[in-house]
Amino acid sequence: MPYTGFFMDSLLEKINCPGDLRRLAPAQYPALAKAIRTRIIETVSHTGGHLASNLGGVELTIALLHHFSPPTDKILWDVSHQTYAWKLLTGRCDRFDTLRQPDGLSGFLKRDESPCDVFDAGHAGTAISAALGFAVARDQRQGTEHVVAVVGDAALGNGISFEALNTVVSTTSRLIIIVNDNEMSISGSVGAISRHLGRLLGRHSYNRFKSRIEQTAHRLRLGFLRRTYYRIETALKSMFVRNAVFEDLGLRYVGPIDGHDLPALLDALRVAKDYDRPIVLHVATQKGRGYTPAEQAPESWHGVSAFDAATGSCTSARHGYSEAFGCQLTEMARKDQRITAITAAMRGGTGLDPFAREHPCRFFDVGICEGHAVTFAAGQAAGGLRPVVALYSTFLQRGVDHVFHDVCLQQLPVLFCIDRAGVVGADGPTHHGLFDIPMLRCLPNLTIMQPRDNAMLARMMVTALALPGPAVIRYPRDPGPNVTPPTDPEPLEPGRAEVLRTPGQTHSAVWIWALGDMLPLATEVADALADTPLAPGIVDARFIKPLDMALLRGQTPNARLFVTLENGAVTGGFGSALQEALAAEGFTVPVLTLGWPDTIIGQGTTATLRAKHGLTAEAITERIRKTSCQVSPVES
């Protein structure tokens, strides 16, 4: 909804570009921070989005824009789900109400949205590597701009972050890394002494004094002065601050700095800006700052749907696949002590809260380290356990090599439960789970399934945990039909599909093979064509791999057209698998493959995106009509 009144006269409305902020007096910054938080809360209460992390980074954003001048200076935000204040202060205040809406502002950084967004980001761990690339590009052309990587929310624990840190000193002499520590990412001592020491190390006067000592020692060739100074400083740091990993990698460490103390932040950033070698600035922030419900439960308020800003109450979501998965796995683990659960910083999102509470010794959250999660599970499976790895589809992409090399190659019995498979709405391109089928179905020894409801999910889990090798179950973010799982689910016969509706024509049949959440759409299409010669039959494929070849062979001789429906990328997806299977058998029946096209799918509700890309009953019905007109009917 558009904003008027209060904001029109606020400090925030006076900032149309980063330079406008520097025209304010620093004494006005606290009022600006308050206005930013108010705007973020009000907007996210209508649009949904990442709230707690954005509220925590407001002062840091103001301080960055005070000292640096984007887009000349390059500021990269890891994950970038803490950049709402950045958007407000870099020329997008007037469009902020379009956040996460179709054709509106993204919830993450996007290069085509603003020249200040120099690198797209939606997955953790990219900022330091990309910033190092920008620094090399600057050094090669002898540029003078600053390059800053802002890392937080557990992104520092991601493997690629450590890989990048390992090469910083050997690659460039000028790079600023800011660790935005909101007490839910890296661990560190943030007590009174360490805070005081951090303020000391971050003061401009202290670092100017230090620089003079170094210059004097160099001029008079008194190297012992510099060595003595460094020994004293290192000893102080090692007593009170857990910084060894940075210092041992050759990076100067300053902090922790109170991330909501603007004078301290401004002072510390001045030091970092003037420093002549790579430096890490450790900033301690409070997730959810300025909004009591988010301060009290920062994990719950990390990513939220629309809510009442005054009361903090949210509309209850329907019981979905994630919750059904978590409850079923918890129940199964009571009967099988070999079952473990592994996730990568997604305990709540994947529905594993009940499992973690009831089976804490068999629950493992490895942080944002998806590759490690997969190989960790492989080791457990090789050791005789039955690990279940629960990840979002978009994040499993980062572990596909591990799925092949460490699981499939050894035929180890690991179950992958892939949440958020398909489009995920307003989070947009970085989070749509469209590519798991094309990436995984080419891997040998892997069984892949998709349920149509919670009851089928339970049966597939029982099936998967009885298999001698690896398996995948994928399911969407949107809740399925409200079906109560059976108390004692029966396993499925591997590779067996289920016919849900027979076609209207016996000798010129149209068959729709659909996956899970696309079955309701298949039913709509079949209903629309019910009174025509094209009235299709419907098959719940259930198994993406292996396909039910016996059923397919039986249908093919009298088939006029096959239609596949999937909530995934159509290129290399389930429809392609069915085409390949028919071709391998020598059949020439045409296949109309329907799914998400080979392009970047934007943000928006599932219904909006389906309408935009022709995945509605009306559009599909018309395509079936047109395609069937080009096909000669099979003679009886």
The one catalytic residue in 199, 370, 441, 474 is 370
Cβ-in-10-Å burial (0-12, 13-18, 19+) of 41 comes to buried
**116 and 68 Cβ atoms separated by less than 8 Å:** no
Measured distance between the N- and C-terminal CA atoms of the chain, rounded to whole angstroms: 60
Q: CA 479, 431, 340: angle at the middle one, nearest 5?
A: 65
- Which long-range contacts does 90-97 make (Cβ < 8 Å, 24+ apart)? 90/17, 90/18, 90/65, 90/114, 90/116, 90/117, 91/16, 91/17, 91/18, 91/116, 93/12, 93/13, 93/15, 93/16, 93/39, 96/3, 96/39, 96/43, 97/1, 97/2, 97/3, 97/43, 97/46, 97/47
Residue that has been written with the tokens 């308020």 in this structure: 301
The one catalytic residue in 287, 289, 501, 545 is 287
Q: Residue 353 carries which DSSP code?
A: H
Instruction: Indicate the residue type of 208.
Output: R
Partners of 364 in the beta sheet? 342
Residue in 544, 378, 542, 575 with CA at minimum distance from that of residue 447 = 544
The answer to whether 370 is a known catalytic residue is yes
The one catalytic residue in 347, 398, 441, 542 is 398
Q: Residue 98 carries which DSSP code?
A: G
Partners of 332 in the beta sheet? none
The answer to whether 398 is a known catalytic residue is yes
Give every CB contact of residue 566 below 8 A, 6+ residues apart in sequence: 437, 514, 515, 518, 573, 574, 575, 594, 595
> How many DSSP H helices and E strands does the chain contain?
26, 19
Instruction: Give the 3-state DSSP-derived string for 354-421, with helices as H, strands as E and coil as C.
Output: HHHHHCHHHEEECCCCHHHHHHHHHHHHHCCCEEEEEEEHHHHHHHHHHHHHHHHCCCCCCEEEEECC
**534 and 510 Cβ atoms separated by less than 8 Å:** yes
Active site residues: 287, 370, 398
